[in-house]
A and B are shown apart, each in its own frame.
Chain A
Amino acid sequence: MAKFKNHVLVCGGTGCRASQGEEIVQNLNQVIEENGIEQDVQVVRTGCFGFCEKGPVVKMVPDNTFYVQVTPDDATEIVKEHLVKGRKVERLLYTDPETKERVSESKDMGFYKKQIRIALRNCGFINPENIDEYIARDGYAALGKALTEMKPEEVIKEILDSGLRGRGGGGFPTGLKWELTRKVDADQKYVVCNADEGDPGAFMDRSILEGDPHAVLEAMAINGFCTGASIGLIYIRAEYPLAISRLKIAIEQAREYGLLGKDILGTGFDFDVEMRYGAGAFVCGEETSLIHSMEGLRGEPTVKPPFPSESGYKGKPTNVNNVETYANIPVILLEGAKWFSSIGTDKSKGTKVFALAGKVNNVGLIEVPMGTTLREVIFDIGGGIKDGKGFKAVQTGGPSGGCLTEKHLDIPIDYDNLLACGSMMGSGGMIVMDEDDCMVSMAKFYLDFTVEESCGKCAPCRIGNKRLYEMLDKITEGKGTDEDLGHLRNLSNVIKDTSLCGLGQTSPNPVLSTMENFWDEYVAHVKDDKCPAGQCKSLMQYVIVEDKCVGCTLCSRVCPVDCIVGDKKAPHVITQDICIKCGACYDKCKFGAISIQ
């Protein structure tokens, strides 16, 4: 077998592929061949590197040069300069937004410095479509160890001792969940992987499945061994085609190697995995809804108890865990509970993957130890707020979470701390907002989502969220009243208190937490008819400042509704009742003569 001196790792995650990642691979291979170095260089499609802000990402091994925002046309230069001549392509290196220096290795980049990659250990490292690379990274060794050298109780104890908690949001101790399913006697049990990732902006589960599918399969098999299940089901949304195709390949390869199927590793243990597709309903991330959906029923929750561990899929004991939870399992077994529990905080062990999004410089997928502060995540890893604006708030936990502010920045992130400040861990969405973001609109945005995604089964969630949305809409339109503010709070509390499942029990959180932290903004909308962030169109207008306007006519030319009038070289005026507040004039004016009021 040829031994490659260089590996060129090209991100094959959905994001980078959408930016012509596949063409980059093709071009690289072609130019490598043209230069006759195909014996020395191997191009590898990996999973996501996480640094999506600057994708597509190409990493050169062994010198670890990290190229960002690579285009297919850059392939020639990368090959000829870097691979042939050993010279780095400077212009493709990452530039630190603060120091303006080019950084050539990922480990020197702020984005990666504070990260510890456990769940993402193989993402951006191995070719997810090649089981050999997974095995080379100790893949299936944890399963082998469990099957050959351990008893189910011992494995569960290890997981319990590791302190691993459900990464889907609930934070239920994983070992305990396994134990509950194990205890129940049944002729058939099921292991389910919840890959119905639905938070807006979240993609950690997708990235793990795309970058390291075998880790999830291995963990499911370990779970099957512990709980006594012989069938694993992966419930994945159909709009994750790449993850689905990689999982299918992985399942096929694992079967070929006998790592799934009958008599795994000669231990007599049978386990196989099947896929189940969801139509992308947020509520199907809730485990009873998920199970109903897998059974072909309407995706809506039922009251627990009974818990799936007693009566789940087809009425049989079923253990449902999230993708990221599973991704942690093999490492825990190999490295030990002690190692894992040495990372993190008192009650939240290990790491957490977050999808960092919003107004930060470095948008992407990150994995940090529990206990890292929001400040570290947003300012060190995230590289601070875009365009030098001021930080305003960060929403964790997606639509079920709450928004946290400046005063929460130094709180170590873990399940309990987030809950205590009125938010939650959730599955790991983290959306950063800056001074231009209106918090009432933000709450409205999330309510819009939950209104869409409510299954409609229980009245408070079905109707209550709609009414919350309508009230928020009224407030952003400048039509809110004092009474609405009172109603908003009462209704939020009742929805939380009475809803059937986690969706409704948490959906008012964005409203309550913004009311808690940004009460003044609500009051400004209602009493002063002002949107302090200048985001609510009904509460703002574009006005031309007479002194600054030179009458260049540019604004009136770009106005799509012709509402700006004025003679050449004379100050212009915006006709307010025609203006649609599109902001085109504001963006175009070179003299700063248009202001928002």
Chain B
Amino acid sequence: MEIVQLTIDNKKVVVEKGTTILEAAKSIGVDIPTLCYMKLHDTNFENKPGGCRVCVVEVEGRRNLAPSCKSTCEEGMKINTHSVRVVNARRTVMELILSDHPFECLVCAKSGDCELQSLAQNLGIREVKYQGEKNKYKSDESPAIIREMEKCIMCRRCETACNDVQTVGVLSAINRGFESVVAPAFEMDLDHSTCTFCGQCVAVCPTGALTERDSSSKVMDAIVDPNKTVIVNTAPAVRAALGEEFGMDAGTLVTGKMVSALRKLGFDHVFDTDFAADLTIMEEGTELLGRLGKHLAGDKDVKLPILTSCCPGWVNFFEHQFPDMLDIPSTAKSPQQMFGAIAKTYFADQLEKKREDVVVVSVMPCLAKKYECSRDEFKVDGDPDVNLSISTRELAQMIRNANLNFEALEDDDFDQPMGESTGAAVIFGTTGGVIEAAVRTAYEVHTKKTLERLDFEELRGMEGIRSATIDFDGLPINIGIAHGLGNARKLLEDIKAGKSEFHAIEIMACPGGCIGGGGQPYHHGDVEILKKRQRAIYEEDKGKILRKSHENPFIQKLYKEFLGEPCGEKSHELLHTHYYDKKKKIEI
């Protein structure tokens, strides 16, 4: 390892060659302010266009100030991070950015969580001397994501997320100079583009330029409507992150408080999406075993590997980008849609309610779920199985609106029957979880033996692409896992090229899986937060008595009373779906 020695603010620093000035400064406790810069270790996300120029420092002997995020340390450098020249430049640049930014902080969705706002405060900007024309753009309101480009500061993080991490390629800078802005090609609306609504752009946007479509007021409208029975269900990743919105440490599990809050908000039935996750495993696992069985029997028409289909961002991705491979993913609906389908049939029947009087609300870590529930195939006579999908952040806002002291809430339990779930369902919330849950069930169904060891460490972790071979009692099953659509693309290209050896692959659109979803509390670039959420998820799994989906008594009851058998006729009608070639649908 080659090292270099330099001085930062008169302090000697020794760092590895290639270290940026920003990192070197951090190592001695000097936090140089940044704005466009963002790096998420473990997830292949690094954005440092060197565009905002807020992190500039003075390097002795250089004519211009240097962006510390992009400049590497060199032997003997003398750096000043807060000279009069630097501070004046930084503040002036900040004023410039603010001079082309709407002063709507009081009513902005991002207020309080906005990196631009907090930086302006840190720098003590009290007036903007350089005033002038501000850019105006039409707002773009897709079912999931809202773009208000007046608030864009051209940090380009969304571009990095969309192009480099997700390889979706919808967002890029267009126009030039003062009019430059990040947008889909030809400034088309997101809805018309190949956007997957994964929401990773929203997750990294430092300002309110990219936000979710807020449905919380519609949820409240339904709750107060005396004619409606409002059912809520919460995804596994929500309970591992919601606490952060109320100042709790990342990774604090708040399942009980969340249930309590939902009940206080007035939902008639508080259920768990995990119930539907167990149901998903029953269907998907059965489908896997079916396809595997036929494949092993020599049926050439059977396509392997089977790919998971519970992530709607991922579904959008392959519908747009790999329309010739629509027959490979499992036909099983996502847990959200399975939940809706059962809630509006089986459960509505139990309540003796008409489906249109039942409102299903899901709380998701995800923005693509908002789009998913609006898809036509998930409606019956125009009535969606899931009426509204709100994000973790929106739920937090509802809780604040209701003046609930979240931290002080007593723990509460989900309602039955659709609140019961196993540990297998909980781990749906992280990358590797779905396939681990599927293995737990498929193993036992296939081998008719009891699994001794439930924790498949080999399937866990944060690596973008992981693989493992699981011994199904003599039958080696090759499992692949990818999170982040860029990684998914690699596996898909392999399949296309006939190079894939996998029998089953789990794919999650968001880096980290649902814990890193576009609807989660903002991580602001701290990847440790994702890891803590992941640990919380596995912890919850460990604490469960039942940890295999097929052991969920209410699932067993559901099949017995209503569905018949997994992948049976009724299941196919309610729990399976089909995919569309969306390549042709792009309109400009």
Contact = CB atoms under 8 A, between A and B. Distances in A.
Interface of B: 49-54, 56, 64-65, 67, 70-72, 85, 88-89, 92-93, 96-97, 99-100, 129-133, 153-154, 172-173, 175-180
Contacts of B72: 305
Q: Chain A binding site: helix, strand, loop or mixed by DSSP?
A: helix
Given A300-B173, A456-B180, A487-B129, 11 more contacts: A303-B71, A454-B176, A454-B178, A456-B175, A457-B154, A458-B52, A462-B180, A463-B178, A490-B88, A496-B64, A497-B85
Interface string A382-425: 00000000000000000000000000000000000000000000
A457 B92 contact: no
B96 A456 contact: no
B119 to A, nearest CB: 12
Contact of B99 (A453, A455, A463, A465): A463
A364 to B, nearest CB: 31
A465 B179 CA distance: 12
B174 to A, nearest CB: 8
22 contacts: A303-B67, A303-B71, A305-B72, A452-B177, A455-B176, A455-B177, A456-B154, A456-B173, A456-B175, A457-B173, A457-B180, A458-B51, A459-B51, A459-B154, A463-B97, A463-B99, A466-B100, A466-B132, A466-B133, A470-B132, A496-B64, A498-B53
Q: Chain B binding site: helix, strand, loop or mixed by DSSP?
A: loop
A458 B154 CA distance: 8
A459 B172 contact: no
B89 A498 contact: yes
A494 B96 CA distance: 11
A487 B130 contact: yes
A305 B17 CA distance: 14
Given A459-B93, A459-B154, A498-B89, A466 B177 contact: yes
Interface in A338-362: none
A459 B96 contact: yes
Interface in A420-469: 451-460, 462-467
A456 B89 contact: no
A462 B49 CA distance: 14
Nearest to B129: A487
A470 B89 contact: no
Nearest to B130: A467
B56 A498 contact: yes
Nearest to B58: A497
Contacts of B133: 466, 470
Nearest to A301: B50
A269 to B, nearest CB: 36
B38 to A, nearest CB: 16
B69 to A, nearest CB: 9
Contacts of A300: 173
Interface residues of A, number: 33
B65 A498 contact: yes
A500 interface: yes
Contacts of B56: 497-498
Nearest to A304: B70
A36 B53 CA distance: 71
A588 B173 CA distance: 51
A535 interface: no
Nearest to A500: B50
Nearest to B85: A497
Given A303-B71, A457-B51, A459-B153, A464 B96 contact: yes
A459 B178 contact: no
A568 interface: no
A498 B93 contact: yes
Nearest to B174: A298
Interface centre among B50, B154, B176 (most CB of A within 10 A): B176
A491 interface: yes
A466 B178 contact: yes
